[in-house]
Chain A
Amino acid sequence: MSMLAGLKVLEIADGLTDFGGRMLAELGADVTVVLPEAPQEKSRERAWHHGKTRVTADSAEAIRALAQSVDIILDGQRNGDRFNLATTVNPTIIYVKVTPFSPTGPYAGRPASDLTLFALSGLMHVTGDPTGTPLKFPGQQAYALTGIQAATAALMALYARRKTGKGQGADLSAFQSTTLANYREAVMYEWTGRIGRRQGNLLVRGKSGVRQIWPCKDGYVTWSMIDNPSMMRAVVGVMIEQGAAGELSEIDWGNILVADTAQETIERWQAVFGTFFAAHTRSELGRWSLERGWGLSVIMAPDDVRDSDHLAARGLFVPVTDEATGESVNLPGPLFHSAAMDAPRRSLAKPVPASTLAAGAGR
């Protein structure tokens, strides 16, 4: 049995709630999603709306009728309010209204997209190369982060409803959801007066900056010289075994603070590490990291992730069938591992008009 089996959810989708509705569906809820007015990219439809009942908004009245029989509404309309659900829902319903900005603040009602919300979060300012244009993270992270918060708010209100028997409203800001992920920039400014800058792939701590990305024989790995003596000793230990440690074998890592070491010394040491990494494959370096506790990670391309033995053993990717075309694509399925997690519907449903669904529900 799934955790949320039998729970009925109506989602009004336009990016902001897409992943939140998907999470609830993955946990077993019966999610009906009202599709946005503008058609979505096929890949986004597949990723975010599989496992849901997809409806087109042919009738606002039908949407309002559907809203009467659900436990939770996730309303993520970015542009106006097509359905006026807030005034029609009954008192046991949990109504999560997701908007780009707070409903009464100075930005209320402004248009927004994933990119503009990410820019506002402060994360973009510190992502990218120092001399280049600020970068977004891959995919649509502002929407994803907001979606998770929508699911969180809905489940918190569900917990409260178990105690009180009453539903309630929740206003959720996408700007705040995205900014909450930025745990560093505002607090650093507040306490140090320093404004973070883009550092590329350099990790700057104290006096020095250390590399995070290293070319190896067949790709890239990520690892950094950090003030963790046991990790440093673990890497250098293997380098000594391989005859590649050079001057690193003489260093007492327990008495060195990398953050206080001169940059030219860091560069000299990094050259030794770089030569060693370049001589080995991702597989070799990844295996040493796992066995010896290096903290090094192989940089995996999307196909590597899809083919990962580890993720296969954990059952992350699952086949999802498009009911309209019969095509199947492997997508992330379970959100986490749990004893109470039956597989939900693994298909992208054909859209049906809301009026048809509402008439069926009425019968």
Chain B
Amino acid sequence: MSALADLRIADFSWVGAGPRATKDLADNGATVIKIESRKRLDLGRMSPPFAGDPKDFDGSAFFAQTNTSKKSVTINLSDPKGIEIARKLVAWADVVVENFGPGFMDRIGLGYAVLKKIKPDIILASVSVAGKTGPMAGFRGYGNSAAAHSGHAWLTGEANNPPHMPPLAYGDVVAPMFLTVAILAALEHRSRTGEGQHLDVSQIEPMVHVIADLYAQDRAEKAGNDDPSCRVHGVFPTAGTDQWIAITAENNAQAEALKTSLGIAALDRETIAAATQGQDKFALFDKLSAAGVAAGPVLDGKDLSENPELLASGHYTKVEHPVLGLSSMPAPPYVFSETPGKIGPAPLLGQHNRDVYVDMLGLDGAEVDTLMREGSLA
């Protein structure tokens, strides 16, 4: 049995910031019902790479890896009959998750006050760029907005250089991790008190939290790859085009081991780079690791896909998907001794309509067919 085997999630979230949190829960046994609509497609379904035709809503590998182990139903949330079905899912759920723009859940009649009337101990978990309160509560942003508003972009790179944006929407990674923690903590609170609550996660605040050590400095400065607390802390060239290795020596013993391994007498950047630039990054990683020096080859996408440690540890789990075929999906980074997780395929759009509406909620099959035909469940 997985850790969250009896947990029920009604997941209204889309793209990245919500779905990554509900993936955490689904991969560990929670029943996550992803509420989607053909009339307002999850943009993740239109995000590359694709297994084939980009117009096939079920063929996005981006969507597949973000939504493993979930079920999908379709509801038109602009249709009152659709909202009625959504309310039935709320009544079934322990947790409702959403990452819509400000006020959307209220406008469609699924605000927290309404949800609480439907189910008094419901947990509503919301994630948005700037949170639900404060002067920027209505801010309409996209993936990297939080990098700008948190100081990340300003603090990335070498001193005196312009700001540098992360190469991916890092706020869409960190915020859902906070959302997962928030949901799990709220479930513990509910088990003690019987109370649900509304969790309001902003993308900006988690991005500030993960650089709290810089905010604890008297004056936060850009440091590039440097860390003055280490004897060596840098990234050095190795053999081949655009091949690099990161090396750190946190103490004198590691610094001496590094000198011995590289056959050098000094630890300035130029001397180390001269010693590393002709060496294969993986062979040097092996050599320095054996000497007790922390090192890490700078891996690219191909290196990651073929990495023996990631493959051996099950980081990429092979999952059979109706459109993608047998494909690699990222697994949680932890392994439980008694409650192992299990990675299943991402759902096709509306794949579980009948299972959920008829078998689980007990609705009449003919009625469901009618609602689907009329577009309320589309």
* Chain A contacts to B: CB under 8 angstroms: 1, 3-4, 7, 19, 22-23, 27, 38, 41-44, 46-48, 96, 101-102, 104-107, 110-113, 115-128, 133-141, 144-146, 148-149, 151-153, 155-160, 162-164, 166, 168-177, 179-192, 194-201, 203, 212-213, 215, 220-222, 226, 228, 289-290, 293-295, 297-302, 304-306, 308-311, 313-314, 316-317, 329-332, 334-340
**B57 — which chain A residues lie within 8 A by C-beta?**
none
CB distance from A281 to the nearest CB of B (A): 15
Q: Which B residues are in CB contact (< 8 Å) with A213?
A: 153, 162-165
Who on chain B is nearest to A96 by CB? B334
Q: How far is the CB of B231 from chain A (nearest CB, A)?
A: 12
- Residue B13 at the chain A interface, CB threshold 8 Å: no
CB–CB B138/A290 < 8 A: yes
Measured between alpha carbons, how far is A27 from B300 in the docked complex, in Å? 37
Contact yes or no, B188 A158, CB < 8 A:
yes
Count of A-B contacts judged by CB separation below 8 Å? 451
Q: Which residues of chain B are near A134, meaning CB under 8 Å?
A: 235, 244, 298
Q: How far does the Cβ of A132 sit from chain B's closest Cβ, in whole Å?
A: 8
A-B CB contact pairs (8 Å), 28 listed: A115-B294, A116-B295, A122-B299, A135-B225, A141-B210, A152-B184, A153-B334, A155-B184, A155-B185, A156-B3, A169-B336, A169-B337, A171-B334, A172-B334, A176-B310, A186-B301, A188-B49, A189-B302, A201-B162, A222-B163, A299-B148, A300-B154, A302-B155, A311-B208, A313-B134, A332-B212, A337-B199, A338-B199
Pair B166/A119 contact, Cβ less than 8 Å:
no
Report B-chain residues with C-beta under 8 Å of the C-beta of A337.
131-133, 199-202
The reply to whether B297 and A120 contact each other, CB–CB distance below 8 Å, is yes
Is B367 an interface position by the 8 A CB rule?
A: no
Which residues from A are CB-within-8-Å of B138? 290
> B214: nearest residue on chain A (CB-CB)?
A139
B352 interfacial contact with A, CB 8 Å: no
Main secondary structure of the interface of A (DSSP, over half): mixed
CB distance from A273 to the nearest CB of B (A): 16
Given A185-B301, A313-B135, decide whether A4 and B185 contact each other with a Cβ distance below 8 A: yes
The 3 closest A-B CB pairs, nearest first, are A116-B296, A189-B301, A176-B333
Contact of B212 among A126, A331, A338 (CB under 8 A): A331
For the complex, count residues of B whose C-beta is within 8 A of A: 141
Give residues in B with beta carbon < 8 Å to A: 3-7, 16, 20, 24, 28, 48-51, 61-62, 65-66, 130-136, 138-142, 144-145, 147-157, 162-168, 170, 173-174, 177-182, 184-189, 191, 193, 195, 197-202, 204-206, 208-217, 219-220, 222-225, 227, 229-230, 233-235, 242, 244-248, 250-251, 254, 289, 292-305, 308-310, 312-313, 315-316, 327-328, 330-339
